[in-house]
């Protein structure tokens, strides 16, 4: 090959290498394209199941339905007390007075609240018991007072001063001092046991203030179906819809239990707050919204 040709080739190679080096060091050169990546959406968290068998209280045993959250309650109030009441182990049956199992009780859970061998607690008496237990434990014993069907006012403060009920005739009673003053828990149960002999659904209904805005601690009461108490409530923040848990006892004397909702197993034991229709419970109770009442001493509190 001629020398001039070799020189030309060398020059071309040198120029090509120089240009290549400039391209590599040129800050204005475009970087290689990065392939686009579609972000993977975060999985939607699965809401917890409504029932937590290991939960030992109303609030820990039953979660609100999906999309609902428990309503806020006043700390130390009656509703907060009901929400934290202890439950018997999951699956424990409802017991009758004397310890026999009550067959067929539509119970989602049973309260861990003892009934004594001589208790007269039947039906709506259980609702009075729940309220009185709260008042006693929150040191509001001066508020514990209920009326007999006759209208006689039976206050625990009178009982704890040593007075007892004396029957004058089939319709009339009076106080008579026959015991030493005592305000123990045992005396509360003795007071209630006597009260239950003279009170019923009608007398309890007369104690209540009629309300239209349900909240925990309110009760539905009528003479045909007895009564149920609202134990807890939850609300859907998206549409404002509410649900509640209900508790009751029946005749004969038996433990207090939370009711299943057999008409809505998808949210059971929660019940829809639907004021356009009657409340029908799994026990067959039928309540109008005009049956809803609040213990009078709770009003404004």
- Quick one: DSSP state of residue 74? -
253-260: average pLDDT: 97
CA distance 226 to 248: 9
Q: How many CA atoms lie within 13 A of 261 on its CB side?
A: 17
Task: Report the C-alpha dihedral over residues 6, 11, 16, 22, rounded to 10 degrees.
Answer: 160
How confident is the model at residue 170, as a pLDDT? 78
Q: What is the pLDDT of residues 223-255, one digit of tens each?
A: 999 999 999 999 999 999 999 999 999 999 999
**Alpha helices of the chain — where are they, by DSSP H?**
3-25, 58-61, 78-83, 125-137, 156-160, 185-198, 201-207
How confident is the model at residue 47, as a pLDDT? 79
Long-range contacts of 25-28 (CB under 8 A, 24+ apart): none
31 burial via Cβ count (<10 Å: 0-12, 13-18, 19+)? exposed
What residues does each domain of the chain span?
A: 58-298
Q: Which residue has the higher pLDDT, 38 or 49?
A: 49
Q: Are 107 and 260 in contact (CB under 8 A)?
A: yes
How confident is the model at residue 171, as a pLDDT? 84
Q: What is the pLDDT of residues 191-216, one digit of tens each?
A: 999 999 999 999 999 999 999 999 99
Q: What backbone phi and psi angles, to 5 degrees, belong to 122? A: -135, 140
Evaluate if residue 107 carries a pLDDT over 60.
yes
Evaluate if residue 32 carries a pLDDT over 80.
no
Per-residue pLDDT band for 46 (boundaries 50, 70, 90) equals confident
Instruction: Give DSSP secondary structure letters for 128-160.
Output: HHHHHHHHHHTT-GGG-EEE-TT--EEEHHHHH
Evaluate if residue 173 carries a pLDDT over 50.
yes
Q: How many CA atoms lie within 13 A of 176 on its CB side?
A: 7
């Amino acid at each position: 090959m001629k020398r001039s040709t070799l020189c030309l080739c060398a020059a071309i190679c040198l120029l090509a290498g120089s240009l290549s080096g400039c391209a590599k060091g040129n800050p204005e050169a475009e970087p290689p394209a990065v392939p686009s990546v579609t972000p993977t959406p975060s999985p939607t968290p699965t809401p917890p199941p409504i029932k937590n068998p290991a939960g030992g209280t109303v609030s820990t045993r039953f979660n609100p339905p999906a999309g609902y959250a428990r309503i806020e309650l006043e700390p130390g109030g009656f509703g907060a007390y009901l929400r934290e009441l202890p439950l018997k182990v999951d699956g424990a049956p409802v017991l009758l007075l004397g310890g026999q199992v009550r067959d067929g009780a539509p119970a989602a859970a049973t309260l861990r609240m003892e009934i004594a061998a001589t208790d007269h607690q039947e039906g709506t008496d259980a609702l009075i018991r729940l309220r009185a237990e709260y008042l006693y434990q929150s040191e509001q014993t001066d508020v514990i007072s209920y009326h007999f069907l006759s209208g006689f006012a039976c206050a625990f403060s009178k009982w704890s001063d040593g007075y007892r009920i004396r029957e004058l005739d089939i319709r009339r009673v009076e106080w008579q001092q026959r015991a030493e003053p005592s305000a123990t828990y045992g005396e509360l149960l003795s007071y209630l046991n006597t009260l239950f002999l003279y009170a019923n659904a009608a007398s309890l209904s007369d104690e209540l203030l009629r309300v239209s805005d349900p909240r925990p601690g309110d009760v539905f009461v009528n003479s045909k179906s007895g009564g149920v108490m609202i134990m807890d409530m939850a609300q859907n923040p998206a549409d404002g819809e509410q649900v509640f848990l209900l508790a009751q006892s029946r005749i004969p004397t038996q433990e207090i239990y939370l009711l299943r909702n057999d008409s809505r197993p998808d949210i059971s034991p929660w019940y829809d707050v639907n004021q356009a229709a009657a409340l029908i419970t799994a026990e067959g109770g039928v309540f109008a919204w005009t049956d809803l009442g609040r213990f009078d001493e709770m009003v404004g509190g």
